Amino acid sequence: MVSRFFPYEARIEKRVVQSSSLYMKEWTNDRQVARGNQLNAKAQLTESHDWETYSLVFGPSTFKIRDFKIDPNNVVLTFKVGFQKLDFRGKYQINAQILLLRLVGEGNVTGNFLGYESDCFLKSHKVIRNNQTHIIFEKMKFNIKINKAHINLDNLFNGDPVLGPASNEVLNANSDLLVDEIKPVLEDALSDLFTNISNKITEAFTYDELFPDN
């Protein structure tokens, strides 16, 4: 527990890191919440065609939280979350123009983001349950930065052995274009995920238990 009048960032940060890591591991093994890491994403690439991914699963097994700050009175948290490597896999449909290349296909997508980092802002409000004050976090705000991305789309052009690999090369040489389109959707999906995790961590505690006076 952390005193409202004691330097609290380091101790709260330790609790958040430990609890988040444990909870995310348990999440993948719990049948009731096994879909917690499953993110549905859809991004518009052009005015008339869609790039769509569905059942897109991310594997954030290890991450670092830094620059952690908290306002205990309003329970507002700001921090950075970083992943050296964030793997993903899922399904895709695409019919879109990327530079001079029109990509057409449907199948499996795999890849990873390297040097991924997010600036996070997490605000809460207080609620009364059984005459005790609890906190509920509102939807987390994300600002994602991705240093590099690698994406592989299987079955482009119905699995053409020449056009498929060549298209993936062009796609990865210009992966920043796809990242820019996917980024808002990814921010929204991860925001839902981490907001849910934060509320799971704190739901068992009252406000006074989390931030005692002394």
Residue range 42-81, pLDDT digits in tens: 544 444 445 555 555 665 556 677 888 888 778 888 988 8
Q: Are 28 and 47 in contact (CB under 8 A)?
A: no
Q: For 56, phi and psi rounded to 5 degrees?
A: -85, 115
Q: For 34, phi and psi rounded to 5 degrees?
A: -65, -20
Predicted local confidence at residue 138, as pLDDT: 95
What is the rounded average pLDDT for all residues in the chain?
74
Q: Stretch 73-97: mean pLDDT, rounded?
A: 82
What torsion do the CA atoms of 96, 101, 106, 111 make, to the nearest 10 degrees?
Answer: -100
Q: Are 155 and 165 in contact (CB under 8 A)?
A: no
Fold of 54-210: Bactericidal permeability-increasing protein; domain 1 (3.15.10)
Residue 188's pLDDT band, with cuts at 50, 70 and 90, is confident
Single pTM value for the model: 0.67
Q: Kindly list the domain boundaries of the chain, sorted by start residue.
A: 54-210
From CA 150, how far away is CA 138, in angstroms rounded? 32
Strand pairing class (50-58; 132-137): unpaired
Note the pLDDT tens digit of each residue in 114-142: 888 889 999 999 999 999 999 999 999 98
Residue 161's pLDDT band, with cuts at 50, 70 and 90, is very high
